[in-house]
Every structure is written in C-alpha cells, then in structure tokens.
Amino acid sequence: MDHLEFRLLGSIDACSGGRGLDLGPRKRRYVLAALLLDLNRPVPVERLVDAVWEGDPPDSARMTVQGHVYRLRRTLMGASVETGSSGYVLRADPEQVDALRFRHLLAEAARQGDQSGADLLEDALGLWRGPALGGSGSGRSLEVAAVELEEARLTAVEELARKRLRLGQPERAVAPLRAIVTAEPHQERLVSLLMTAFYRVGRQTEALELYERTRRLLADQLGVDPGHELRTTFESVLAAQV
C-alpha cells in the first residue's frame, strides 16, 4: 500500500497515496485516534474504551474495541497494529500523523528566531482542517486530548502574530488572527493582537469596530468588561500610538 497519512487536526481520517480510506463508523475512528495519540506506545484496552464511550461503557465494550482493532488492521495495511500484554500498539512514523507533526513544528519553532520560527508556525497551523479530532462526541480521554490540541493551536496563532508584528509584517498576521478570532471571539489577547495588526496595515476603523464588537460580546455573554490589555490596545489605537 502507498504511504499512509493520518489526520487528527480536523475530522479523524487516514489516506493512502492521497486517497481517503474507509475507516468505518465513528467509534472505530476514535479507537484509531487514541492509538495515534500514543503512537508506538502500548495503549491499554481500558484507555481505548475510555476514548470511545461517554459515561458508562456497555458490558460489550472490550469486545467491541477488539473488533474495531481487528478491522483497522485490515484497513491500514501500511501500518502495524500489534497486540501486547499491556495493550495495542500502532507502529508508524510520527511524521505520518498531522497532530504529531504539528507538535514537532511548534517545538522546532520555539528554538528558532522570529523569521524562521514564524515560517515554521505557519507550516504547523497549515495542517489544521477543522476542530481537533472532529470536534465533540468522543469519550473523556479524547475530549481532553482535543482541548489540549486546540489550546496549542491558540498559543501558536498568538506566537505567530507576535513574531510577525516584531518583524514588521503585520499584513501576514491579519489572516490567521482573524480566522481564530472569528471562531474564538472571547480570546482577548488575540483580539488585541488583531487590533494592532489592523492598525499597522492602515485599518484603524476596523480595529475600533472590532473592539466595540468584543466589548458588547463580553458584556452580553459574560457580564464583564474588557481586560487591561485589550483596553490598553484600544486606547493606543485611539491615540495612534500602536
């Protein structure tokens, strides 16, 4: 079989030679995701059960997981799913898993200067296709993993924006910031950075409009006022001192 690729930064998918594989039902995809997140390490059956079912699993959970693993073996002919005394192990190159490549690129970006680091962060964020692990619906352990990946994504967007602004490249900060602020409008640090980027590309009006939308959103949905950083950015945009 051609080179396999596994995708967790969006829907849970696998492809071979650029063509998607039929992974079967949602619960089987959750089993695959749990194996991929602990790639090349034993994953106990209990953890796979916890990844698949919300709340109390059925009495047949262990047998169902074993059935899903059996079918994944038949589908993923280019990867090895081994059975050991402590669980199942999926053997593959970490570069085949987008979530693991994402983490690797973040670590490499942290060791670089602003220009190289920003380029690596753009590469990392370019791996995302949607909500981590397909959004919600999985068991508790995958929900935790999805939250951690989404938090790492927010941190990467913030760090990328700060690097682009330090480099005098605000135009390259606008698009990734606007995308994430649209999805996460309560993230005040990211709103503040987007206001700064807007101002520095000559879009002061949009910066002020963004502040006003965020202020209303925070008041209406959370009953709070903008924090210190966001208020300071607003005042700096008004004073043309950003």
Closest CA to 226 of 188, 198, 180: 188
Residue 146 domain-assigned?
A: no
The two tokens of residue 194 are 């987007």
Domain presence at residue 157: no
Structural domain ending residue among the three candidates 63, 93, 123: 93
Q: What percent of the chain has pLDDT over 90?
A: 87
Tell me whether residue 192 is in a domain.
Answer: yes
Tens of pLDDT, residues 20-34: 999 999 999 999 999
Quick one: 148 exposed, middle or buried, by C-beta within 10 A (0-12, 13-18, 19+)?
Answer: middle
- How sure is the predictor about 242, in pLDDT bands with cuts at 50, 70 and 90? confident
Domain boundary among 93, 123, 148: 93
Domain ranges, residue 63 = 4-93
What's the CATH code of the domain at 184? 1.25.40.10
Name residue, tokens 């753009």: 122
What pLDDT, in 10s, does the model give residues 143-177?
Answer: 999 999 999 999 999 999 999 999 999 999 999 99
Does 141 have pLDDT greater than 80? yes
> Where is the domain boundary, 70, 93, 116?
93
Angle at 219 between CA 186 and CA 188, to 5 degrees: 25
- In this structure, is residue 224 part of a structural domain? yes
Residue 131 lies in a domain: no
Look at residue 89 in the predicted model and tell me its pLDDT.
Answer: 95
Instruction: Give the chain's mean pLDDT.
Output: 94
Q: What is the pTM of this model?
A: 0.91
Q: Give the CATH number of the domain where residue 30 resides.
A: 1.10.10.10
| Total count of domains within the chain | 2
